Amino acid sequence: MNLSAPVRQRGFSLTEIMITLAMGIFISAGIVQVMSSNQVTDRLNRAIASTQESGRFIVSRLRSDLLPAGRYDILDPALDASVDIVDEAAFVQNRPVILAGDFSQNLTLGSVQGFSGADDQLVVAMQGERDCRGYKLGYADDAEFFVVNHYFVDAGTLKCRGFDGRVLRGQKIAVGNNNDAAFTILDNVISFQVLYGVSASSESGNFTGTPTTYVTASALAALRAAGSHVVAIRVAILLEGDSETYINPTPTFKLLNEASITPSGNGLYKKFETTITLRNMKNYARRQKA
C-alpha cells in the first residue's frame, strides 16, 4: 500500500512574529494617539461652548437687570403709594447706583471698588415688580415698589440679593421674602469689574445726559455731590470653561481699568464686556436743564 508522506506544518518565523508585533504596537500607538487627541478636542470644544453660553447669558441677564436702574414713575398706577412717592422718586433718581451710607438701616450696603484687582460689587436702585431673585417682598402681585439689587462674587460665583428700599430707609417693616439670602447667577467667574459713566455736572451747563467719563465706585460720592449723574454702567467679566484644558502659554486679560491678569488654572478663559446706557437716568439728566 502506497502511503503519502506526512504533511509538514510550517509556523511563523521569529522574524515574522517580530514584524507582526512591531506593526501591532505601531497601529495601537496610532489608535491611542487618535483617541487622546479626540478627548483633548472634546474637552476644548466643551470648554468653548460653556464659556460662550455662559457669556451670552450673563451679558443678557445683566443688561436686563441694570437697564431700569434709576427708573421711577410717580404716575405709574402699578406703583405702591404707601409712602411719600415724591420723596422716594427724588431719592431713586439721584441714586441709581447705591453707595455705602445711603440707607440708614444698612450703612455698609453700597457699590464697592475692589482693592488691587479684587472683584467689584454693584448695587442699583429702581422701581420694579420684583427683586433680582424674583421676590415680591410682601407686595401684591400687580404692584411695583422700590427695588434694590446687590451683585457680588463669592468664591468664584456671581450672586445677587434683593432688598426693599423702603425697609432699608426705615419706612416700613420687612415682610415676605425680605432677607439677605443670595441667589447664584453664574459659576466659574474669575473676575467681575464695573465702571460708571457719569454725565457732566449741572454747574457745567452740559445737559446732554451722555457720559463724559467712566470712573470707579470710589469716585462716585464726590461726583454725585458735584451734580453729576450715573447714566451708564460698564461691566467686564472673565469666565472659565467647564472642562479642564491645557493652553500654553495661558493668555493674559485686561478688564476695564484693572491691571492685566493671567489666570493660574488649567482652563479656557474668555472675557465678556458690555456697556448699559441707563435711559431713564439719561432723560433725567436732560430734564435738569429746566
- Please answer whether residues 224 and 94 qualify as being in contact, where contact means their C-beta atoms are separated by less than 8 angstroms: yes
CB atoms within 10 A of CB 212: 14
Span 127-152, pLDDT tens digits: 999 999 999 999 999 999 999 999 99
Span 178-235, pLDDT tens digits: 678 999 999 999 999 999 999 987 666 666 778 999 999 999 999 999 889 999 999 9
How confident is the model over 39-61, as a mean pLDDT?
A: 79
Return mean pLDDT, the chain: 87
Cα–Cα distance for residue pair 268/265, rounded to 1 Å: 9
| pLDDT band, residue 37 (cuts 50/70/90) | low
Cα–Cα distance for residue pair 38/33, rounded to 1 Å: 8
Among residues 99, 103, 69, 47, the alpha carbon closest in space to that of 235 is found at 69
In this predicted structure, what is the pLDDT of residue 108?
96
In this predicted structure, what is the pLDDT of residue 56?
93
How confident is the model over 90-113, as a mean pLDDT?
A: 97
Span 111-132, pLDDT tens digits: 999 998 999 999 999 999 999 9
Of 6-20, 99-113, 224-238, 266-280, the one with minimum mean pLDDT is 6-20
In this predicted structure, what is the pLDDT of residue 264?
84
Residue that has been written with the C-alpha cell 482693592 in this structure: 115
pTM for this model (two decimals): 0.84
Span 81-94, pLDDT tens digits: 999 999 999 999 99
* Alpha-carbon Rg for the chain in angstroms: 30
Chain centroid, CA 259 distance in Å: 19
pLDDT of 38 higher than 60: no
